[in-house]
Structure 1
Amino acid sequence: MRHTRAAARPRLPGSPFNVPEAPPPPVEQYAVRDQVSHDKYGLGRVVVVEENLAVLVDFGEETRRITAPYAKLVKL
C-alpha cells in the first residue's frame, strides 16, 4: 500500500498569519537637563546621557541610572 502526501495548502494574501511583525517603537531620546518623571522615584532631571543605553537622573535625594527602553520614565 502506497501513501500519498497531501499537497501543501496555499496561503491566501489576506490571511492573518501572513502579517509581518510590527517594528518596535523607537527609543525615547533624552538630553541633559530634561525634566522627567519616574513611576517609582518621582520627579528628576537628566544629568548624563549614554546614547541609546541609559540615562543618569538626579531625583534630589539620589541619582539613579535608568536603562533603555525607559519603560517607567516620562519626559515632561
Structure 2
Amino acid sequence: MTKPAASKRHLPTSPFRAPVAPVPKQFETGDQVTHDMYGLGRVVGVEDGIAALVDFGSTQMRILSPYTKMTKL
C-alpha cells in the first residue's frame, strides 16, 4: 500500500518562489456562463465565496466554489 503524497511546504530560505494560489473566480448576478456539463446559463444568485445559482434553461443548479468547470463569457 502506498500513502497519498503530502503537499510540500515552502521553506522561507528557499531560492525558489513559493507556489502562487490561483485567484478564485468571481461571478455576479446576470453574468452569462458556460459549464462543462450543463452548457450555457445565466447566474441568478450568488453566495459570496460559497456557490452560485445558475439558470441553465431547463434546470437551475447550485454550483459550488471553486467553479472549476464553469467559465464566464
Q: TM-score range by the shorter chain?
A: 0.7 to 0.9
Q: Structure 2, unaligned stretches of length 5 or more?
A: 1-12
Instruction: Please identify runs of 4+ aligned residues in structure 1 that moved more than 4 A.
Output: none
Give the Cα separation in 1 of the matches to 2:62 and 2:26: 15
| Greater Cα radius of gyration, structure 1 or 2 | 1
2:70 paired residue among 70, 73, 76 = 73
Within 5 Å, which residues of 2 pair with 1:25-36? 25-36=22-33
Percent of residue pairs bearing the same amino acid type: 48
Compute the TM-score of the two structures, normalised by the length of structure 1.
Answer: 0.73
TM-align CA RMSD:
1.4
Structure 1: runs of 5+ lacking an equivalent: 1-12
Aligned residues: 60
